């Protein structure tokens, strides 16, 4: 579960990326975040992933408060999937999933043999996304769609309680987005995760999202089901802010 209460993040210069945003992401649900402004999407997902402390308001990740003193702990509660994340192309998927994050690749950590439970967690995560049989393939051979599935698996291998997926529709097409959203919804259910995914276009959310958060000019314009989002009042308000 991820909870936001009056969260505000200033825009550089003037105005707000987020202004008094309140929302709760429930376990077992897929929430889609939609905004035409990439900076707004990034600010909200950074807060949800424990990557930044709100300038105003409060946030909790799996009941743990997001504060400067607790960022290291709360980040471990979230799997953060960034499509632009670097992989070691000549190494296998298995190796890339086991390798520590680039910021902590000390020689000692790289040379340490992975524990059995770590190896098992990686193989199970690869199975969850349909890549178990390709664990020995080189990461550089992956298509954009398979690369995204692998990044989801790598996040799952850390056993997070929440999963954040950033702008997958910037790297894959509409058909593959539908497949990724279907996978994320299944993972939310089967792994008991709160899953949040940001999109540049909310269209694909109609078939898969349990819930939609729509942002505009720093405000939370809408928080509800896809069916409610189709209401004329919501569509008018979103359109008016885009003019």
- Distance (Å, rounded) from C-alpha 27 to C-alpha 162? 8
Q: What is the pLDDT of residue 240?
A: 40
- Tell me which of 229 and 129 has the higher pLDDT: 129
Pairing of strands 219-224, 211-216: antiparallel
Write out the two tokens for 167: 């702008």
The DSSP element (H or E) to which 127 belongs, if any, is helix 116-128
Q: What is the pLDDT of residue 104?
A: 44
Determine, yes or no, domain membership for 117.
yes
Pairing of strands 16-25, 2-10: antiparallel
Question: Quick one: 126 and 173 in the same domain?
Answer: no
SS3 131: coil
Q: How many Cβ atoms are within 10 Å of 179's Cβ, its own excluded?
A: 15
Question: Quick one: 139 and 210 in the same domain?
Answer: no
- Distance (Å, rounded) from C-alpha 40 to C-alpha 215? 7
Number of domains in the chain: 2
Indicate the average pLDDT of the chain: 88
Q: What is the pLDDT of residue 238?
A: 52
Question: Quick one: 63 and 172 in the same domain?
Answer: yes
Whether the pLDDT of residue 49 is over 70: the answer is yes
Question: Quick one: 67 and 5 in the same domain?
Answer: yes
Determine, yes or no, domain membership for 240.
yes
Q: What is the pLDDT of residues 8-18, one digit of tens each?
A: 999 988 889 99
Determine, yes or no, domain membership for 84.
no
- Tell me which of 110 and 223 has the higher pLDDT: 223
Question: Quick one: 182 and 235 in the same domain?
Answer: yes
Q: What is the pLDDT of residues 77-109, one digit of tens each?
A: 999 999 999 999 999 999 999 875 444 444 444
Question: Quick one: 17 and 124 in the same domain?
Answer: no
Q: In terms of Cα–Cα distance, which of 13, 59, 55 is closest to 196? A: 59
- Distance (Å, rounded) from C-alpha 158 to C-alpha 130? 17
For range 148-173, the mean pLDDT:
95
Residue 39 exposed, middle or buried by CB count within 10 Å (0-12, 13-18, 19+)? middle
CATH of the domain at 235: 3.40.50.300
- Distance (Å, rounded) from C-alpha 6 to C-alpha 11? 16
Q: What is the pLDDT of residues 186-202, one digit of tens each?
A: 999 999 999 999 999 88
Domain endpoint, select from 101, 130, 159 = 159
Domain endpoint, select from 107, 134, 159 = 159
pLDDT band at 47 (very low <50, low <70, confident <90, very high): very high
Contact 139, 92 (CB under 8 A): yes
For range 170-181, the mean pLDDT:
94
Whether the pLDDT of residue 150 is over 60: the answer is yes
pLDDT band at 70 (very low <50, low <70, confident <90, very high): confident
Whole domain around residue 1: which residue ranges?
A: 1-77+164-243
Q: What is the pLDDT of residue 108?
A: 46
Q: What is the pLDDT of residue 112?
A: 53
Domain endpoint, select from 103, 129, 159 = 159
Question: Quick one: 2 and 72 in the same domain?
Answer: yes
Question: Quick one: 54 and 68 in the same domain?
Answer: yes
Determine, yes or no, domain membership for 82.
no
Determine, yes or no, domain membership for 86.
no
């Amino acid at each position: 579960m991820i909870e936001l209460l009056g969260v505000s993040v200033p825009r550089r210069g003037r105005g707000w990326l987020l202004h008094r945003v309140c929302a709760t992401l429930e376990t077992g649900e897929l929430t889609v975040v939609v905004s035409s402004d990439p900076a707004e999407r990034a600010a909200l997902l950074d807060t949800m992933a424990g990557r930044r402390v709100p300038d105003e308001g409060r946030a909790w990740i799996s009941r743990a408060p997001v504060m400067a003193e607790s960022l290291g702990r709360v980040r471990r509660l979230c799997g953060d999937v960034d499509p632009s994340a670097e992989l070691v192309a000549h190494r296998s998927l298995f190796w890339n999933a086991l390798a520590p994050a680039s910021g902590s690749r000390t020689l000692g950590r790289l040379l340490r043999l992975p524990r059995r439970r770590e190896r098992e967690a990686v193989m199970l995560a690869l199975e969850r996304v349909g890549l178990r049989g390709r664990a020995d393939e080189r990461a550089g051979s992956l298509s954009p769609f398979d690369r995204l599935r692998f990044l989801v698996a790598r996040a799952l291998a850390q056993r997070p309680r929440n999963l954040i997926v950033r702008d997958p529709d910037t790297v894959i097409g509409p058909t593959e987005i539908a497949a990724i959203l279907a996978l994320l919804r299944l993972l939310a259910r089967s792994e008991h995760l709160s899953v949040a995914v940001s999109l540049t276009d909310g269209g694909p959310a109609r078939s898969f999202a349990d819930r939609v958060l729509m942002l505009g000019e720093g405000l939370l314009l809408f928080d509800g089901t896809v069916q409610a989002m189709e209401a004329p009042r919501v569509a008018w308000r979103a359109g008016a802010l885009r003019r």
